[in-house]
Structure 1
């Protein structure tokens, strides 16, 4: 269980960094509009996507199947995460409506292809040292991180449910 928590946590954090770098690169904003759900610097959709990919059978995570499975897992999670946040909290963290080949603005082919490439890089390059690091994490640190994450998730969900505003997560209204 600790293994999956840290996989989710690490890739959620890495996804937040990726989101910030992408927003800065494409819009030049030093502090881009927050696309993450949590007050912590985490984008859960990335953690959920990698967790989904890593739970697939090993045969689907090898060779040319890996980018295909990564694209499919991330696209699936991105669609349903977006749908869930919209239905539960009345918020849209992203909108691909202006991107060609999109589905309800939730997912689109260009980003699905990017997720496939990023998934392959993550599994081939990041995952082996990450697994070694996770194996050395003391249980007390895992419990502490899980408690902080849970408190943050509950507070953030409540804030979104009340305000229906992604900007509220940054202190705005």
Structure 2
């Protein structure tokens, strides 16, 4: 178990390095990849530990080791993606645009690539890592593992709070959008009903016009003044809602910028359009 725990942390770090290199090559800038804030990608650590535990006896049989690696890593991606989506209502990665994918959680292309990577790990990298771990005195090793556990637990708590804040911001933005739409519809109905009422009195106004233009002018001016007041009040309410909306967007950017950059394919189950707007705004910073 001691070696498995060390392997988890080491491969989580190495996996983070791979993700950073991959993102840097594609975006030409540094991106802190991974669900957590620290320099670790736990899914890599879990994946490699599972591969080592299950397939080390088969590592000399390349075909079985390769097939086993593809199946195990694909299953891990499926389970992890599903759990993250159900827990946080976000789809953190999406392979839906790639051929032979399973609900966007896993795809054949990357599964085959991970199969090759696992063969490399089983036969070349892991024996080296194992020897490096044996060079660390067990007492010192346990101290370091304890420190790593504390750091990763803190990181998990901070990251989960960031995701919760993201969902709160998206919910509040959605509520503002609904208020603005509802207000627009109600104001439009008032204008429409007022216009209809005004037209219905057209004949009456024509009669009044024949009797005296001053009275007609006064009635029209009163109607226009009422409409102006309503319009001004509507502008103020819309302006206040827009200010609050911008504040929430800025708050969302501050809290989840790293997560959105780390998972550019992330999608929200409930607020898809708002998530895309937030991602677009973050990309400009």
When normalised by structure 2's length, the TM-score is: 0.55
Residue in 2 that maps onto 1:77:
76
**Is 1:97 matched up with 2:96?**
yes
State how far apart, in whole Å, the 2-side matches of 1:35 and 1:116 are: 21
Q: Which runs of 5+ in 1 are unaligned?
A: none
State how far apart, in whole Å, the 2-side matches of 1:22 and 1:92 are: 20
1:75 is displaced (CA, Å) by: 0.8
Higher Rg: 2
The answer (yes or no) to whether the contact 2:34–2:41 under 8 Å persists in 1 is yes
1:32-68 per-residue CA deviation (whole Å, 9 max, x = no partner) reads 4x54111112111111111111121543333222222
State how far apart, in whole Å, the 1-side matches of 2:126 and 2:259 are: 34
1:24 is displaced (CA, Å) by: 2.6
Give the number of aligned pairs.
171
1:171 is displaced (CA, Å) by: 7.4
Q: Cα RMSD over matched residues?
A: 2.4
Residue in 1 that maps onto 2:166:
163
Q: Which runs of 5+ in 2 are unaligned?
A: 168-251, 261-277, 279-285
Residue in 2 that maps onto 1:56:
54
Stretches of 4+ moved more than 6 A in 1? none
Residue in 1 that maps onto 2:235:
none
1:123 is displaced (CA, Å) by: 1.3
Instruction: Name the structure where helix makes up a greater proportion of residues.
Output: 2
**Is 1:21 matched up with 2:21?**
yes
State how far apart, in whole Å, the 2-side matches of 1:2 and 1:86 are: 31
When normalised by structure 1's length, the TM-score is: 0.86
Indicate the larger mover: 103-112 or 46-55.
46-55
Residue in 1 that maps onto 2:156:
153
Indicate the larger mover: 35-44 or 105-114.
35-44
